[in-house]
Amino acid sequence: MTDTHCPYCALQCAMRLTSAPGTPPSSGAPAPTSERDASVGAEPRQFPTNQGGMCQKGWTSPQVLTTPDRLTTPLIRNTAGHLTPASWDDALDLIASTITTIQAEHGRDAIAVFGGGGLTNEKAYQLGKFARVALRTKNVDYNGRFCMSSAAAAANRSLGIDRGLPFPLTDLTGADAILLVGSNPADTMPPCVTHLQGARNRGGLIVLDPRRTATAELTGPIPPEGIHSTHGAHLQPIPGTDLAVLLGIAHVVVMEKLADHTYITNRTEGYDALAASLSPWWPERVAQLTGVAAEQLRWVARTLAAASPHHGGRGAYIITGRGIEQSRQGTNGVTAAINLALLLGLVGNVGSGFGTLTGQGNGQGGREHGQKADQLPGYRSITDPQAREHVASVWGVHPDDLPGAGQPAVELLNSLGQPGGPRALLVHGSNVVVSAPHVRRVQDRLAALDLLVVCDVVPSETALLADVVLPVAQWAEEDGTMTNLEGRVVRRRAAVSPPGQVRSELWVWQELARRLHAPGVWSTCPSEVFDELAAASAGGRADYSGLSYARLDEHERVTGGVDGSGLYWPVLGPNHPGTPRLFTDVFPTVSGRAALVPVQHDGPGDTVSAQFPVFLVTGRLLQHYQSGAQTRRVAALTQAVPGPYVEIHPHLAEVYSITEGDDVLLTTARGRARAAVRFTSTIRRDTVFMPFHWPGVGSVNRLTNPSTDPISGMPEFKVAAVQLARVTEDIA
């Protein structure tokens, strides 16, 4: 039996894997040739985030270990255009020689690297180091740009630090009120729902979402005349107007004198400018713009205020998710949520707060240690001279040899193969031809490259386009650490040996670094890489310097993994206990105060029109995850939801003479997609919903808007304007 954590979302549910006896390799050494055990099982362990529960994805996760199309040998595309088996030496020699040639002709930045939020901390760290030391390119970013970048930018700007939840998830249980903005945890991380039950039972669960999601259903039946039910309220705004809803709620807080002015005076700055900026957002005006009734806005403001410590309540939380963040105004949207929490005196008060639900398994740690275009390990800025000097000393290079900031993900992908842009791309832990916006353009850009290298576990849609495919180990085949949505660093442990010629990416980078004559040390041992990460992070905002595998393992042994497995960063030394709750005394800003930042609502990039008259919103399903590369290979999950679909209100379908089960063609300014129709009476009548887990003609990211937030670089996934029609022809 092996105690580890689920490979999917950032809840990082604790699980126990059962398998045949055997000692798995701890590095990238070749796997033994003996038969692998195909009967690995998973069961949940007691852990604070999942409380002994696990969703269907977690229960079935071992099936990905033995998927029939598992990549087990390197592949090289031959002159006929086919991917054919190759030796590791041939594959790595080809990559290294091609990189050397391209950089000699086009410069170091002609090579780009694209990482993923599912990589362990060790691999995220080593990937950023590889890009900047071995390749010496500035062009590195990752798919977390599509997930957490707006929330991170807003938190850094207002609070001085970005940690998804700056408090333990279990703190939510005692709250009187919780406002969820654009988040559907009942489907995306089901065990999280248990932490919402306290607020639900007290009538204070509030969900802001254009869809009547499984989470919105927890608020109870919508009363015929009332604005809330026994359990709370569901606010169903026009897509893309959630920022305006938050401004309307904040307006009520200020005008009805519900704000905590003692807290505002002692712990924030910028109140006068914020209050002035809120004056135009009176509830009746917001109601006309958003479709949310003025009395609902007032009720939410009063409910949150009554739950706040200032008014003697048990506590209140404001939590954001991708619904508000994946927008060209995502940073301002999250900032509006933070402003509201600060006005009510929630942030830093035990039992109250603001946070955001990180999506990918290592979405938090993945953005802390160097695979973002503008960051070095420890969440340091790559433009900070002191940060460059510190990290360069750990890496054994001169600070001047480190490149500067690169381009965020959308801009990076758009520049591939363009004049002056990268000529080669190395992809690790991402499936960009399904997960990126405007995927047809992404496919065109990948086709323009001189070299595309993909490290993956299965032949994902992106891997199938590559010139070289490298088979790498997955979650249960390697040791590592993950940082969950609370900033809790937990241990992932190897349970089985990888098959065939599969290697760890740490080994791949070591071998490529050697061929490229890179300076420094390139260990393949995860614990050694973690020790280097800890040293590089020392003194940074995300400080792991007090952590090691030995300390994490001992902490889990002492606690039994039940009440405290893993430690919360920052951990400032070997005797430091970690930091479960941030902001209790001071904010890590220059002034020590949180910044109230005035923002305005500009609306989405697409507007409905005679040509594109319907709103499209996108999202995840309970049974599937991200690009679907893993979950589409699990029989139980594909049987439950075998393919893409479009959720539509029967009244809207009637307008287009669409019946349930028809295939419908959706068209935006970017492209067309096709999917089967499902009727639901709970979605807005001006809106359709489509999940994003599928490739090809069923890929909703053929339609999504690549317009980006000017601060975070986040693309506008969540809202597009579409045209609907019954399918009368096939599309490519």
Whether the per-residue pLDDT at 463 is higher than 60: the answer is yes
For the entire predicted model, the pTM comes to 0.95
Buried (b) or exposed (e) across 365-397, using 16+ Cβ within 10 A? Answer: bbbbbbbbbbbbbbbbbbeeeebbebbbebbeb
**Is the previous residue joined to 570 through a cis bond, with omega within 30 degrees of 0?**
yes
Rounded mean pLDDT, 642-671: 96
Percent helix, strand and coil across the chain, each rounded to 5? 35, 15, 45
Under a CB-based contact definition with an 8 Å cutoff, are residues 675 and 689 in contact? no
Whether the per-residue pLDDT at 33 is higher than 50: the answer is no
- Identify the pLDDT of residue 21: 43
Under a CB-based contact definition with an 8 Å cutoff, are residues 36 and 448 in contact? no
Whether the per-residue pLDDT at 32 is higher than 50: the answer is no
CATH of 149-357, one of 3.30.379.10, 3.40.50.300, 3.40.228.10, 3.30.565.10: 3.40.228.10
Question: Tens of pLDDT along 502-536?
Answer: 999 999 999 999 999 999 999 999 999 999 999 99
Whether the per-residue pLDDT at 34 is higher than 80: the answer is no
Report which of 613, 477, 503, 578 is spatially closest to residue 88, judged by C-alpha positions: 503
Q: Where are the domains of the chain?
A: 75-146+362-485+494-525, 149-357, 614-726
Dist. CA 531–CA 35, nearest whole Å? 33
Whether the per-residue pLDDT at 596 is higher than 60: the answer is yes
Confidence category of residue 563, pLDDT binned at 50, 70, 90: low
Tokens, residue 326: 């994946």
- Identify the pLDDT of residue 127: 98
Query: What burial class does residue 132 get, using C-beta atoms within 10 Å of its C-beta: 0-12 exposed, 13-18 middle, 19+ buried?
Result: buried
Whether the per-residue pLDDT at 129 is higher than 70: the answer is yes
- Identify the pLDDT of residue 558: 84
Rounded mean pLDDT, 151-156: 96
Averaged pLDDT score across all residues of the chain: 94
Confidence category of residue 36, pLDDT binned at 50, 70, 90: very low
Rounded mean pLDDT, 619-628: 94
Percentage of the chain exceeding pLDDT 90: 92
Confidence category of residue 732, pLDDT binned at 50, 70, 90: low
Do 614-726 and 75-146+362-485+494-525 have the same topology in CATH? Answer: no
| Rounded (10°) angle between helices 283-290 and 242-255 | 170
- Identify the pLDDT of residue 38: 54
Confidence category of residue 229, pLDDT binned at 50, 70, 90: confident
Positive or negative CA dihedral for 603, 604, 608, 611? positive
Q: Which CATH architecture has domain 75-146+362-485+494-525?
A: 3-Layer(aba) Sandwich (3.40)
Question: Is domain 614-726 in CATH 2.40.50.150, yes or no?
Answer: no
Whether the per-residue pLDDT at 52 is higher than 60: the answer is yes
Question: Tens of pLDDT along 312-370?
Answer: 999 999 999 999 999 999 999 999 999 999 999 999 999 999 999 988 999 999 999 99
Question: Tens of pLDDT along 399-447?
Answer: 999 999 999 999 999 999 999 999 999 999 999 999 999 999 999 999 9
Tokens, residue 193: 């729902």
